[in-house]
Amino acid sequence: MKKVGVSVLGLALLMQSGAAFAYTDYNTPTDDGQFKNCVAYSTNKWTGGDEPSPVPGQSKATAFCTCLWNETPDNFRGGLAKFSESEAGAQLSNLCSKHANWE
């Protein structure tokens, strides 16, 4: 039983780390208004947004917002960066911060 628990924990950690750096699976919505607003808000509000992220060709703000845009439901209509600051968006914010290496 102990081996199963360790395996499940290892699998969960692997999945979490893989999701945080799965940038090749993300679409970059350059012409989307929500995405553009997120990048502008993030760059102005938090420091380091213009620094390079682990995603080739993307700043930390761009990688963060790309993750947010891809991870929120298709029918989401609010501000992505503002949502990430909310209690409901905290888990997604952590995931996308890791994706952008913006911690």
Distance, in Å, from the CA atom of 10 to the CA atom of 13, rounded to the nearest integer, reads 5
**What confidence tens digit (pLDDT) does each residue in 34-76 have?**
999 999 999 999 999 999 999 999 999 999 999 999 999 999 9
For residues 94 and 53, is the Cβ–Cβ distance under 8 A? no
Global pTM reads 0.76
